[in-house]
Amino acid sequence: LEEAAFQLQQIFRIDISIALNILGIESMRAGHCRVAFTCFKLAADRGYSKAQFNVGLCYEHGRGTEKDLEKAGFYYCQAASSHHPMAQYRYARYLLQHGPGSPQDRHHEAVALLEQAAGAGITEAQAYLGVFYMRGLQPQEKRGLKYLLQAANSGDAQSRFHVGVCYEQGLGVQQNLAEALRHYRQSAAAGNRQARERLRA
């Protein structure tokens, strides 16, 4: 009986958190940012990762509350620890730009989180890793190209442009101007200004 009661409590707690998060999303859509933040915060403090991510967004952008990057990082971290892919991406960005601890430790943790988020299909993480590996202190061009292609295939026009650069300059792949042109054209067709300029050049 005790076990059954505990299970019911857990279900009830989760259902309340889901309802609060949905209410927060609807309130945000209606322009009631303070109400939305309150709902997200109540659900987040009950351990619901989607709400923790939403609280992080509120703190990062100052929606419904004061802008506070440290608190945003805290909530992104909580959601990331529950394997929320977009929170992993956001927390990795926070670590690289504002995080506590030594730069080397932050770097390793951020890259691990970005890899997880990219593996879960987060286009922003794939694009970020692609550029990161291309431009790092010790560039890993093949690895960078792999992530740029993933992001490009998910519809990211900027990554498609970078793939064109890789083929034009032979970065991580054999130089192939026809392939570079193909990627520039696709990127330009998706509205990328740099690709249009590159085609004109």
pLDDT tens readout for residues 70-114: 999 999 999 999 999 999 999 999 998 886 777 778 888 999 999
- The pLDDT of 152-177, averaged and rounded, is 95
What torsion do the CA atoms of 14, 94, 98, 113 make, to the nearest 10 degrees? 100
Res 103: pLDDT: 75
Dist. CA 196–CA 92, nearest whole Å? 31
Is it the case that residue 55 has pLDDT exceeding 70?
Answer: yes
Res 188: pLDDT: 95
Is it the case that residue 10 has pLDDT exceeding 70?
Answer: no
Res 128: pLDDT: 95
Helix H or strand E encompassing 173? none
Res 16: pLDDT: 85
Res 139: pLDDT: 82
Is it the case that residue 122 has pLDDT exceeding 70?
Answer: yes
What DSSP assignment string belongs to 112-162? HHHHHHHHTT-HHHHHHHHHHHHHSSS--HHHHHHHHHHHHHTT-HHHHHH
121-200 to CATH, choices 3.40.50.10540, 1.10.3110.10, 3.40.50.300, 1.25.40.10: 1.25.40.10
Res 4: pLDDT: 60
Helix H or strand E encompassing 44? helix 33-44
Listed by start position, the domains of the chain span 121-200
